[in-house]
Structure 1
Amino acid sequence: MASAPPLETAGLMGFPQPPCYEEAMSNPYPQYPQGPVPSPTIFAKPEQPLYPMQTYTSPPSNPVVSVQTVCVQQGVMYRDRPVQLVCPVCSQTVVTQMKYSAGTMTWLACAGLFIFGCAYGCCLIPFCVNDLQDVTHQCPNCNSVLGVYKRL
């Protein structure tokens, strides 16, 4: 018997390989041409310009500063005691002057005393007691009325 020429096995013993196997292995992906790999600079981001440096300039050595004083008062509670405040009329810091006048509480106390038998002048005692009268706060400089405290 004549011996047949040996089959090209290319790694697999006993199995014949197609004749174009070596060509196929030299370029396994024919749709992508083989060649030198493109350099990474093609895909790199373009260099961005640096941001301009901001320079700091110091303020002038002798700045002119104008100061305006604003005096804000919270809601003043007028009671039966003097109050220290800035008068809105004359703009002076003052302690209020108090004037007493008959109000609703004075008249109710007078009527109560009259009903309970103090009809011979004793019912007029509430008009002499400052703790039963309304208080008017005035500025001692300009005599303007700043507030009133009513008992009832």
Structure 2
Amino acid sequence: MESSVPLGFAPPPPSYDEATGSGGIYPQGIYPQGTALSPPPQPPMEKAASPYPPQAYAQMYPSPQPVPTVQPLVSVQTVYVQPTAFGDVPVQTCCPMCSQTVITRMEHTSGTMAWLVCAGLCIIGCMYGCCLIPFCVDGLKDVTHFCPNCNNPIGSFKRL
């Protein structure tokens, strides 16, 4: 038995042209006996019918429609921010009653600080009228700020 293939090795596979040259059937005599020479012949494949009817691209993928947006109803409310630090000087502010920008008018009234200084002067011996001096000094009195247009109180400043 003469063979060009050394012992222990399989013969080389056929080339593409040899394998497909006879309609997809391998040529006879390449494979040892007892092996399948070729797969069973298959009928030519036809185009399978689609389960869906053909449609244009625009029908398959419609362009997204703009979603109508509802604009929320916005109510505007004017908020007047008053300075939190009314002092012993007039301030420019917006009156919440008449909505005018004004410079406040001030009134001084005797408060806790004036009474404490009066009591302190009485303790140290100033009982003959000198203890009443704190009621004449505006620097020891509380301050109330008023609107000059409508005369409503806007804020106050307490000494103590």
TM range (shorter): 0.5 to 0.7
Match of 2:124 in 1: 116
Match of 1:49 in 2: 61
Indicate conservation of the 8 Å contact 2:114/2:135, yes or no.
Answer: yes
Q: How does 1:121-136 map to 2 (within 5 A)?
A: 121-136=129-144
Secondary structure of the structure 2 residue equivalent to 1:136? strand
Residue 107 of structure 2 is aligned with which of 99, 112, 115? 99
| Gap regions ≥5 residues in structure 2 | 10-30, 67-75
Shift of 1:102: 0.4
Change (3 A) 1:37 1:111: farther
Shift of 1:38: 9.6
Match of 1:87 in 2: 95
TM-score using structure 1 length: 0.62
Residues 23-45 of structure 1 show CA distances to partners (whole Å, capped at 9, x for unaligned) of 1xx44xx8xx8787999xx9xxx
Change (3 A) 1:36 1:11: farther
- Matched pairs, number: 121
Secondary structure of the structure 1 residue equivalent to 2:86? coil
Shift of 1:144: 0.9
Shift of 1:20: 2.5
Return the alpha-carbon distance in structure 1 between the equivalents of residues 91 and 139 of structure 2: 17
RMSD of Structure 2 on Structure 1 (CA): 3.7
Match of 2:23 in 1: none
Change (3 A) 1:22 1:147: closer
Secondary structure of the structure 2 residue equivalent to 1:114? helix
Q: Percent identity?
A: 49
TM-score using structure 2 length: 0.59
Letter in 1 for 2:145: H
Secondary structure of the structure 2 residue equivalent to 1:109? helix
Letter in 2 for 1:143: N
